[in-house]
């Protein structure tokens, strides 16, 4: 082996060692914000993409799925609020993204620890307790845990999900967008978005590894105070009594 070859190998190893670890969960650039829940407000992020059009659908089956086939967003509520979440296809999200995403998402209470991933030792130990083989740690329709190389592991508690489409679990029509509304307590939440086309993971799919662009949005509205509910109930009772009086006349 020549000295130039040795230098090339050493340089290549140094470059690889300096690269960040791949397939780790990150919310960088995907924090939708902190909301008081006391005023109506909204936010959006439109410049993200996910590899493949099937990550959510694969994570919704019996052996779960790969967490890095999705984009992880988060938001925080300082008080209880009504929250509407939307995920949509966006062909121009990045310079390399394509359109055609069948958007789907799941919402969880809690967040993953920094640099968590499916094959961290602590995550693998958790997966070994499940009693069934898993392709990855992401459970799109239920609770799961994920940890990092520091041994920190967090539970993400499933709240609900939404899928663009007319089929099973779908929102009724496949139109490139899906929205769902939740009433949530104060806390920090993970909003995980990926493709909902289960068959798109077939090796014969020419778009298997393409970056499918997405846009997401959040709308936060206040939860009515108990006094407001009381006034509404009183108003309904008054209307009902007036109606009965008119009928008796």
Residue spans of alpha helices (H) in 47-187 = 55-59, 121-128
The model's pTM is 0.82
Pick the CATH number of 20-244 from 3.40.50.460, 3.30.2350.10, 2.60.120.380, 2.60.40.10: 2.60.120.380
Per-residue pLDDT of 59-71, as tens digits, reads: 999 999 999 999 9
Per-residue pLDDT of 37-86, as tens digits, reads: 999 999 999 999 999 999 999 999 999 999 999 999 999 999 999 999 99
Residue spans of alpha helices (H) in the chain = 3-18, 55-59, 121-128, 226-248
Residue 181, token pair as written in the block: 């509304």
Residue 133, token pair as written in the block: 């083989």
**Rg of the chain over all Cα atoms, to the nearest angstrom:** 23
- Which DSSP state fits 122? H
Assign 130 to helix, strand or coil: coil
Per-residue pLDDT of 118-168, as tens digits, reads: 999 999 999 999 999 999 999 999 999 999 999 999 999 999 999 999 988
pLDDT of residue 17: 34
Instruction: Please give the angle made by the CA atoms of 138, 143 and 147, to the nearest 5 degrees.
Output: 55
Domain regions of the chain by residue span: 20-244
Q: How far apart are CA 146 and CA 73, in angstroms?
A: 15
In sequence order, what are the beta bridge partners of 82?
183, 221
Across the chain, what does the average pLDDT equal? Answer: 87
- Which DSSP state fits 37? S
Q: How far is CA 54 from CA 38, 189, 190, in A?
A: 37, 23, 19
Q: How far apart are CA 44 and CA 63, in angstroms?
A: 32
DSSP line for 179-201 = EEEEEE-SEEEEEEEEE--GGGG
pLDDT of residue 168: 87
pLDDT of residue 247: 52
Q: Residues near 217 by Cβ (< 8 Å), separated by ≥ 6? A: 42, 43, 44, 45, 85, 86, 88
Q: Are the CB atoms for 78 and 186 separated by under 8 Å?
A: yes
Q: Positive or negative CA dihedral for 213, 25, 103, 195?
A: positive
pLDDT at residue 112 greater than cutoff 80: yes
């Amino acid at each position: 082996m020549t000295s130039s070859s040795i230098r090339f190998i050493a340089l290549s190893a140094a470059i690889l060692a300096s690269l960040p670890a791949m397939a780790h969960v990150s919310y960088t650039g995907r924090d939708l914000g902190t909301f008081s829940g006391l005023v109506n407000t909204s936010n959006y992020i439109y410049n993200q993409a996910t590899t493949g059009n099937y990550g959510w659908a694969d994570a919704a089956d019996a052996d779960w799925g790969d967490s890095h086939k999705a984009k992880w967003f988060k938001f925080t509520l300082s008080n209880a609020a009504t929250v509407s979440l939307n995920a949509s296809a966006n062909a121009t999200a990045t310079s390399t993204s394509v359109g055609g995403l069948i958007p789907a998402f799941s919402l969880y209470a809690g967040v993953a620890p920094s640099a968590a991933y499916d094959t961290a030792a602590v995550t693998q130990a958790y997966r070994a307790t499940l009693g069934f083989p898993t392709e990855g740690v992401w459970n799109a329709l239920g609770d799961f845990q994920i940890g990092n190389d520091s041994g920190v592991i967090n539970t993400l508690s499933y709240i609900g999900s939404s899928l663009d489409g007319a089929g099973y679990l779908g929102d009724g029509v496949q139109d490139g967008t899906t929205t769902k509304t939740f009433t949530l307590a104060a806390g920090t939440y993970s909003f995980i978005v990926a493709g909902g086309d289960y068959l798109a993971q077939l090796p014969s799919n020419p778009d298997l590894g393409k970056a499918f662009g997405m846009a997401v949005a959040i709308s936060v509205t206040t939860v009515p105070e108990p006094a407001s509910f009381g006034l509404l109930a009183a108003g309904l009772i008054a209307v009902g009594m007036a109606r009965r009086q008119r009928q008796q006349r």
